[in-house]
Amino acid sequence: MTSELKLIYAYDPLCGWCYGLIPALRHFVAEEPNVKIEVLPGGLFVGTPSRPYSSLISHIRAAEVHLEAVTGQKPSEAFHEMIAGSEVVDASSERPSHAVLQMNKLAPDRALEFAHRVQEIHIADGKDLNLAQTYDDLCAAEKFPALDVDAILNATLTDPEIDTAYKKCAALRPQGYPTMFAVDAKGEVAGAIPSTYDPIAFVEEFRAIQHQHTN
């Protein structure tokens, strides 16, 4: 039986803490396969001109110590080599966000896994999310529907898809990324799971919200 609640995942493709949540979310999907999860990009690095990734190296190096301690995940050396290798590698959330929003429409049942894989090829494999080839290769290799890569590369804050998603996410008022919102059939928020990285605890928090909502 399908759960009365669905989860809305306030997420950003460039968020290291969202990357750290991947193991917990995969465990949740295995434990609660009937709960729908909507991936909702919210915008972390946005605007024009975009910031060169190389300007964030010291910040990322400092933050990844805590990230690994809490989640067991951290950026790879391939990632660091990629962001340090060129001033033209942008820290731009709009492009990968647009890719995720396209996948929400093309294959909603695979959109969460696509969002995971976008982060993994970027943060673990060191692939540049500003390149069309990155998305073409991912979709071909893992049999995701092909994306409109021109729309991805040209995505800005004024793009209707981006604008709608970012405003919807902001209206939920996440305290940060990642935050999961449990939403009922009327669209009302029944509860939130903010930044819980332990897989068992994540499932328990959702079930507690579900129990409270149905009693």
- In a domain, residue 42? The reply is yes
Minimal CA–CA distance to 89: which of 53, 125, 44, 46?
Answer: 53
The 10s digit of each residue's pLDDT in 48-91 is: 656 778 888 888 899 999 999 999 999 999 999 988 876 667 78
Asked if 69 contacts 39 with a C-beta cutoff of 8 angstroms, the reply is: no
What pLDDT score does 50 carry? 66
What pLDDT score does 87 carry? 62
Average pLDDT over residues 196-214: 95
The 10s digit of each residue's pLDDT in 11-57 is: 999 999 999 999 999 999 999 999 999 999 998 877 665 677 888 88
Asked if the model's pLDDT at residue 1 lies above 90, the reply is no
- In a domain, residue 55? The reply is yes
> Please, which residues bridge with residue 41 across strands?
11
- In a domain, residue 111? The reply is yes
User: Which residue do the tokens 């894989």 mark?
Assistant: 117
- In a domain, residue 121? The reply is yes
What pLDDT score does 2 carry? 46
Q: In this predicted model, which residue has the larger pLDDT, 4 or 51?
A: 4
Residue 72, burial from CB neighbour count under 10 angstroms (0-12, 13-18, 19+): exposed
Average pLDDT over residues 157-163: 94
What pLDDT score does 164 carry? 96
The CATH number of the domain where 85 resides is what? 3.40.30.10
- In a domain, residue 163? The reply is yes
- In a domain, residue 29? The reply is yes
Q: How many residues does this entry show for the chain?
A: 215
Q: How many structural domains is the chain composed of?
A: 1
- Give residue 92's pLDDT band: very low, low, confident or very high (50, 70, 90): confident
Percent with pLDDT over 90 in the chain: 80
Cβ-based neighbour number of residue 206 at 10 Å: 22
- Mean pLDDT of all residues belonging to the chain: 92
- In a domain, residue 129? The reply is yes
The 10s digit of each residue's pLDDT in 183-198 is: 999 999 999 998 899 9
DSSP 168-192: HHHHH--SSSSEEEEE-TTS-EEEE
What pLDDT score does 137 carry? 98
Residue 143, burial from CB neighbour count under 10 angstroms (0-12, 13-18, 19+): exposed
Asked if the model's pLDDT at residue 110 lies above 50, the reply is yes
- In a domain, residue 1? The reply is no
Report the C-alpha gap between 18 and 93 in whole angstroms.
Answer: 13
What pLDDT score does 76 carry? 94
Report the C-alpha gap between 38 and 24 in whole angstroms.
Answer: 16
Q: Which domain holds residue 135?
A: 6-214
- Give residue 166's pLDDT band: very low, low, confident or very high (50, 70, 90): very high
What pLDDT score does 90 carry? 79
